[in-house]
A and B are shown apart, each in its own frame.
Chain A
Amino acid sequence: MRGTPKGAVIIGASAGALEALSSILPALPAGYPLPIFVIVHLPPNKRSVLAEIFNIKCRLRAIEAEDKEPVEPGVIYFAPPNYHLLLEGRSNIALSGEEAVLFSRPSIDVAFESASEAWGDRLTGIVLTGANHDGARGLQAIGRSGGTMIVQDPASAYAQAMPEAAMLASPNAHVFTLPEISSYLLSNFQ
């Protein structure tokens, strides 16, 4: 353990997630000071290989979160299929089998809202490509708590609906292309 991190990043993605995440996560340097939570819509009854893929691609450690997993800086935590990911304060992840929200479990809204309660203005929320409206409400919650809101530029997204819904709900969110998101994550925390 390297002590409590100073902030956190949470990312939500759906259709087109793999490609979008592949341009953001591997760009993060070893020793990155913040924990990164990643919520991707996945089929409920299949094992996910996302964490394994990104653990190979990234300089940071990527794992699929288990219940009460301690939160450490510089670790990428993927929400497991068929569970909601919640933050139990700043120190632990808690999983939940509560009902799907907007047909999704994990739900981006649920994770974002919970993270905003734990991290307040120390949280950066990012809504990437996707073909539904999940994440819009969660990003609003992050904005209300003073956190940073980022939406992938829909023009550059594989599926526009999710970033568009997030922009509509949070008109003052930053709208960035994937390379801009990467440089934001790097510049702000080095």
Chain B
Amino acid sequence: MTETFEKIEDIEIRLLLEALYHRYHYDFRNYAMSSIRRRLRQAREQLGFSTISAMQEGVLHDTDMLPQMLRYLTIQVSEMFRDPSYFLAIREKVVPHLRTYPSLKIWIAGCSAGEELYSFVILFREEGLEERTLFYATDINPDALAHAETGIYDIERIRLFTENHRQAGGKTSLSDYYTSGYNRCVLDKSLRRNVVFSDHSLVTDQVFGEMQFVSCRNVMIYFDRPLQNRAVGLFRDSLPHNAFLGLGAKETLRFSTHVDSFREFVREEKIYQRNGE
């Protein structure tokens, strides 16, 4: 009986994802089912629908529901200089390579509310590379992108950001880059001088330029394996010989069809370098 119920729910989930795709062109159909199932159950309970099918009706007929669904379906969990050792490795091992380029393009794929983007910009400013760099910050969630463009964060998060920045080998004080008031801090707008924010989907969109570094951390863990292969394929096609790809701490290219296009550059930090063909 229980098993029958769960199977019906899986059918409802697939139908809801189809509805989202056909109505709004947001494609979650190849996201990892285990996590989608959890989040849609949460959405159903918290939004007060009796079934996922009922929620699907809402999604189809009420455009106001889209931002709510996106809030459940996209994970907005990040920190500035999250995993400080990742940024330390970029500073110490990747930056010396990047210095040899006259101009740089960096892509933060799945930038969410911008914490990782600003971490890169600050690191690049500290290393004297900001002036020659164009940063692309992309996400599928327009609310997250809008938040990223404001550069405003709750003040209680700053202590963690500051400690992370220090551990990431920060050469300046994080407080040089923000002003605080009303329980929030506002990042200096000069940090956005060389940033392009854009709506981009790793699921449905294409390559848009040649990058020297792509950082895509804890984004592809929500994809199933075929979709991960598509996304890594985009990165492969964006990265020329010797350019870099950074993944999340527990992500790996070991199971990817593109594993041979990359070599481990800083193994323990999941920083890969593009092989020549």
Chain A residues proximal to chain B, CB less than 8 Å? 64-70, 80, 82-83, 86-89, 92, 94-99, 110, 113-114, 117-118, 120, 144-146
Q: Are B250 and A80 in contact (CB under 8 A)?
A: yes
When chains A and B are docked, how far (Å) is the Cα of A97 from the Cα of B77? 7
B34 at the interface (CB under 8 A from A): yes
When chains A and B are docked, how far (Å) is the Cα of A14 from the Cα of B252? 27
User: Given B39, B220, B224, B248, which contacts A98 in the complex, CB threshold below 8 Å?
Assistant: B39
Q: Are A92 and B225 in contact (CB under 8 A)?
A: yes
Chain A, residue nearest B85 (CB): A47
Which residues B220-254 have CB closer than 8 A to chain A?
Answer: 220-222, 224-225, 228, 248-252, 254
In the complex, number of A-B residue pairs with CB atoms less than 8 Å apart: 72
Q: Are B221 and A96 in contact (CB under 8 A)?
A: yes
Chain B, residue nearest A65 (CB): B250
Instruction: Evaluate whether A95 and B2 lie within 8 angstroms (CB atoms) in the complex, with A66-B250, A67-B252, A87-B34 already known.
Output: no
Residues of chain B within 8 A (CB-CB) of A64 are 250
Chain A, residue nearest B252 (CB): A66
When chains A and B are docked, how far (Å) is the Cα of A66 from the Cα of B6? 27
Shortest CB distance A44–B (Å): 10
When chains A and B are docked, how far (Å) is the Cα of A94 from the Cα of B252? 12
Question: Could you pull out 5 A-B pairs where Cβ atoms are within 8 angstroms?
Answer: A68-B228, A69-B255, A92-B225, A110-B38, A145-B2
Q: Are B255 and A88 in contact (CB under 8 A)?
A: no
Q: Are A66 and B254 in contact (CB under 8 A)?
A: yes
Instruction: Evaluate whether A97 and B249 lie within 8 angstroms (CB atoms) in the complex, with A86-B34, A117-B37 already known.
Output: no
Q: Are B34 and A114 in contact (CB under 8 A)?
A: yes
Chain A, residue nearest B41 (CB): A113
User: Given A70, A80, A88, which contacts B224 in the complex, CB threshold below 8 Å?
Assistant: A88
Residues of chain A within 8 A (CB-CB) of B39 are 98
Residues of chain B within 8 A (CB-CB) of A67 are 220-221, 248, 250-252
Q: Are B34 and A80 in contact (CB under 8 A)?
A: no
When chains A and B are docked, how far (Å) is the Cα of A168 from the Cα of B228? 41
Residues of chain A within 8 A (CB-CB) of B251 are 66-67
B89 at the interface (CB under 8 A from A): no
| Chain B residue total in the interface (Cβ 8 A) | 26
Instruction: Evaluate whether A88 and B75 lie within 8 angstroms (CB atoms) in the complex, with A68-B225, A80-B250, A96-B221 already known.
Output: no
B 206-222 binary contact with A (CB < 8 Å = 1; else 0): 00000000000010111
Chain B residues proximal to chain A, CB less than 8 Å? 2-3, 6, 32-35, 37-39, 75, 77, 218, 220-222, 224-225, 228, 248-252, 254-255
Residues of chain A within 8 A (CB-CB) of B225 are 68, 92
Shortest CB distance B33–A (Å): 6
Shortest CB distance A139–B (Å): 15
User: Given A66, A82, A94, A146, which contacts B32 in the complex, CB threshold below 8 Å?
Assistant: A94
User: Given A83, A86, A88, A120, which contacts B3 in the complex, CB threshold below 8 Å?
Assistant: A120
Q: Are B218 and A97 in contact (CB under 8 A)?
A: yes
Residues of chain B within 8 A (CB-CB) of A89 are 33-34
Chain B, residue nearest A99 (CB): B77
Residues of chain A within 8 A (CB-CB) of B35 are 86, 94, 96, 98
When chains A and B are docked, how far (Å) is the Cα of A64 from the Cα of B33? 22
Residues of chain B within 8 A (CB-CB) of A96 are 32, 34-35, 38, 75, 221-222
When chains A and B are docked, how far (Å) is the Cα of A55 from the Cα of B254? 20
Q: Are B249 and A80 in contact (CB under 8 A)?
A: yes
When chains A and B are docked, how far (Å) is the Cα of A145 from the Cα of B2? 7
Instruction: Tell which of A65, A97, A114 has the most Cβ of chain B within 10 Å.
Output: A97
When chains A and B are docked, how far (Å) is the Cα of A88 from the Cα of B3? 17
Residues of chain A within 8 A (CB-CB) of B6 are 117
When chains A and B are docked, how far (Å) is the Cα of A64 from the Cα of B75? 23
Instruction: Evaluate whether A114 and B38 lie within 8 angstroms (CB atoms) in the complex, with A99-B77, A120-B3 already known.
Output: yes
When chains A and B are docked, how far (Å) is the Cα of A80 from the Cα of B33? 20
Q: Are B250 and A88 in contact (CB under 8 A)?
A: no
Residues of chain A within 8 A (CB-CB) of B2 are 144-146
Instruction: Evaluate whether A98 and B221 lie within 8 angstroms (CB atoms) in the complex, with A88-B32, A110-B38, A120-B3 already known.
Output: no
Shortest CB distance A72–B (Å): 13
When chains A and B are docked, how far (Å) is the Cα of A94 from the Cα of B224? 9
Chain B, residue nearest A79 (CB): B250
Residues of chain B within 8 A (CB-CB) of A117 are 6, 34, 37
Q: Are A83 and B77 in contact (CB under 8 A)?
A: no
